């Protein structure tokens, strides 16, 4: 069922989930669950019904794929030699099915190339996407947008520019507030802040910014 008129999708990629309880809380009860290849194991660990399985199945155990087929799961198999990652294909399938809010879980791990590629899917997506491995929660802010980040025990708040400069950055409710600041590539001004109020409020004038809540 759509939440407040919004259709929420959860996508599980084949990377790492480092805190399953936190991921479970973020996932909640999605309207659509899509697994990219080996991400199927994460959805199954959370006891979720999978609506679609996509990928070239290079990271999914053959027996698990056979079980999925036997269970009648909807499957889209793509060639191993392709121009898009399984995560990108899953994201596009979520959009095609009407998702207007997406959680991408398991999009990071030991492959830095895949991690960065998945992070950079966020700003190109026309709907809000949150990416998590359970130890980090990543969101994107664009021109003129504002985001509230609730305080969470032990969490850091970091801001990373995705464009050469992000201007008009204002952050309140944190240990080191900012007012109309500029965050630029190669500088670390926005790293490892702390939320001290019930929630931090982050706003951007111009540019594209990663907002990351992270735990040790």
Calpha distance 212→8 (Å, rounded): 21
Contact (Cβ atoms closer than 8 angstroms) between residue 170 and residue 206:
no
Q: What is the pLDDT of residue 62?
A: 87
Asked, colleague to colleague, whether 8-134 and 141-215 share their fold, the answer is: no
- Least confident segment among 69-78, 143-152, 159-168: 69-78
Per-domain boundaries in the chain: 8-134, 141-215
Q: What is the pLDDT of residue 122?
A: 97
Q: What is the pLDDT of residue 3?
A: 58
Topology (CATH) of 141-215: Jelly Rolls (2.60.120)
Calpha distance 156→138 (Å, rounded): 12
Q: Does the model's pTM come out above 0.85? A: yes
Q: Residue 4 — pLDDT band, cuts 50, 70, 90?
A: low
CB count in 10 Å sphere of residue 35: 30
Q: Residue 10 — pLDDT band, cuts 50, 70, 90?
A: very high
CB count in 10 Å sphere of residue 135: 17
pLDDT, tens digit, for every residue of 46-89?
999 999 999 998 888 888 889 999 989 999 999 888 999 999 99
Q: Where are the alpha helices (DSSP H) in the chain?
A: 20-27, 40-45, 62-70, 86-96, 112-119, 121-124
Nearest-10 Cα torsion for 49, 55, 58, 63: 40
User: Which of these, 94, 148, 85, 154, lies nearest to 126 by C-alpha position?
Assistant: 94
CB count in 10 Å sphere of residue 112: 9
Contact (Cβ atoms closer than 8 angstroms) between residue 95 and residue 126:
yes
* Multiple choice CATH, 8-134, 3.40.47.10, 3.90.79.10, 3.40.50.10240, 3.30.70.100: 3.40.50.10240
């Amino acid at each position: 069922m759509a939440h407040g008129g919004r259709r929420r999708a959860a996508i599980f990629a084949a990377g790492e989930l480092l805190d399953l309880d936190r991921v479970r809380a973020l996932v909640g009860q999605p309207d659509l669950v899509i697994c990219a290849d080996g991400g199927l194991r994460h959805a199954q660990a959370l006891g979720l019904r999978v609506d679609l399985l996509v990928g070239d199945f290079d990271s999914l155990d053959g027996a698990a794929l056979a079980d999925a087929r036997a269970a009648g799961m909807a499957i889209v198999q793509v060639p191993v030699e392709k121009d898009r990652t399984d995560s990108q294909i899953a994201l596009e399938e979520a959009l095609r099915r009407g998702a207007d809010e997406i959680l991408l879980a398991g999009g990071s791990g030991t492959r830095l190339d895949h991690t960065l590629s998945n992070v950079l899917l966020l700003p190109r997506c026309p709907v809000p996407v949150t990416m998590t491995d359970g130890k980090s929660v990543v969101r994107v802010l664009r021109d003129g947008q504002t985001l509230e980040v609730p305080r969470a025990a032990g969490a850091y708040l970091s801001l990373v520019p995705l464009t050469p400069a992000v201007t008009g950055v204002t952050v309140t409710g944190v240990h080191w507030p900012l007012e109309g600041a500029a965050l630029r590539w190669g500088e670390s001004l926005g790293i490892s802040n702390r939320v001290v109020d019930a929630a931090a409020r982050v706003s951007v004038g111009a540019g594209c910014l990663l907002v990351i809540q992270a735990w040790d």
